[in-house]
Amino acid sequence: MERTYNIATIPGDGTGPEVVREGRKVLEAAAAKYGFRLNFEEFDFGGERYLRTGEVLPDSAPEELRKFDSIYLGAIGHPDVKPGILEKGILLRLRFELDQYINLRPVKLYPGVATPLKDKGPEHIDYVVVRENTGDVYTGSGGVNMKGSPHEVAMQIMVYNRTQVDRCLRYAFEYTRKRNKRKTLALCGKTNVLTYVFDLWERAFHEMGQAEYPDIKREYYHVDATCMWMVKNPEWFDVIVTTNMFGDIITDLGAITQGGMGIAAGGNINPHGVSMFEPIGGSAPKYTGMNIINPLAAIACGGMMLEHLGETEAATAVENAIMDVTAHRLKDLAAGKMGYSTSEVGDLVAERV
Ligand code: IPM
Ligand code: MN
């Protein structure tokens, strides 16, 4: 029987639906070529639905989505909705409830893509950030007291338990081994200030590394220094593992070094459950419906989804097709400057697959 995967799509807001359309086009081409089937089912979660119905996410959504093999997401965020509501109510809620405890974010400069890093090329910028995706200040622990008074207190607490740390580290060690490049895993933290949390991370990191991954070289960088080296010597990095908030910040820095939001892709991964793949960029409302936004990030995360589903050959084909397009076709990655429309870029990649 033909291999079949059921994919839930959440096109979402702004330019999300446009880029998801192109991603699907490429995924269908890969499925036809490599002999598997994709059944897509669409969910209308996002700002439009919220404004129309007053409901951010139906309570049944996580259960329903759990039945799929994967989730393919465009973008969440609407200019008429106060910041935080959709992000927390949809994106973060799904990450948490589906226990997608890894946020995998490759930082790879494709050929032909301009980087703001002087004298650096594709041979220098090729590493992966494993961002922990369930803990840290994202748990919502904390609160406000005496609001509105001069004594107002606001607390948002960095929270980690050993289980969260260990499962993230294990994924990172395994990933580094499987990647089989420089076999180096760097822990990015702040042991000089956040002495409780990073004492836990550092101990767990070395204990696990020493006992179970002697073939993987371990390095440690403070987060501030990590930012410096990501700019000055990105070739030092192979795999970086870090906490949720630091991972959020350094992957935007990483994204800009690989050409920006038009290209940066990521996966919210539950190694034992359902994962969700999304471009790192937002909904870019000002470009909505203009057919000028760059769909490559969405296409690239479609490739990551295929890899995750075990369709390795198809995933490689998608990445090679993207690289061919960046190397030989696109003038620029920015919306409106590519030399092609959104749908034409989708066609170019699909043809090459
Ligand atoms: C990201 C985003 C989200 C995050 C926001 C939109 C909640 O910045 O995916 O990096 O902080 O994780
Ligand atoms: Mn972010």
pLDDT of res. 182 = 97
Question: How many secondary structure helices (H) and strands (E) does the chain include?
Answer: 12, 12
Q: Evaluate: CB of 168 within 6 angstroms of ligand 1.
A: no
Q: Evaluate: CB of 344 within 6 angstroms of ligand 1.
A: no
pLDDT of res. 282 = 87
Residue for token pair 């226990």: 99
**Angle value at C-alpha 91, between 223 and 8, nearest 5 degrees:** 125
Can you say whether the dihedral through the CA atoms of 196, 197, 202, 208 is positive or negative?
positive
Q: Evaluate: CB of 92 within 6 angstroms of ligand 1.
A: yes
Closest ligand 1 atom, residue 92 Cα: 7
Q: Take residue 120 and report the two structure tokens written for it.
A: 């650096």
State pTM to two decimals: 0.97
Order of all β-strands in the sheet with 217-222: 36-42, 3-12, 70-75, 275-279, 265-269, 102-108, 126-132, 239-242, 184-189, 217-222
Alpha-carbon distance 269 to 222, whole Å? 25
Q: Evaluate: CB of 91 within 6 angstroms of ligand 1.
A: yes
Residue for token pair 């041979």: 123
pLDDT of res. 98 = 98
Alpha-carbon distance 110 to 131, whole Å? 22
Q: Take residue 10 and report the two structure tokens written for it.
A: 């959440």
Closest ligand 1 atom, residue 88 Cα: 7
Residue nearest atom 7 of ligand 1, based on CA coordinates:
87
Can you say whether the dihedral through the CA atoms of 135, 141, 142, 148 is positive or negative?
positive
Domains and CATH numbers, the chain: 1-98+291-353 (3.40.718.10), 116-257 (3.40.718.10)
Q: What is the pLDDT along the chain (353 residues), one digit of tens a residue?
A: 689 999 999 999 999 999 999 999 999 999 999 999 999 999 999 999 999 999 999 999 999 999 999 999 999 999 999 999 999 999 999 999 999 999 999 999 999 999 999 999 999 999 999 999 999 999 999 999 999 999 999 999 999 999 999 999 999 999 999 999 999 999 999 999 999 999 999 999 999 999 999 999 999 999 999 999 999 999 999 999 999 999 999 999 999 999 999 999 999 999 999 999 999 988 999 999 999 999 999 999 999 999 999 999 999 999 999 999 999 999 999 999 999 999 999 999 999 99
Is residue 334 a contact partner of residue 322, using CB atoms and an 8 Å limit?
no
pLDDT of res. 281 = 85
pLDDT of res. 121 = 97
Is residue 100 a contact partner of residue 94, using CB atoms and an 8 Å limit?
yes
Residue nearest atom 9 of ligand 1, based on CA coordinates:
280
At 173, which amino acid appears? F
Three-state SS at 106: strand
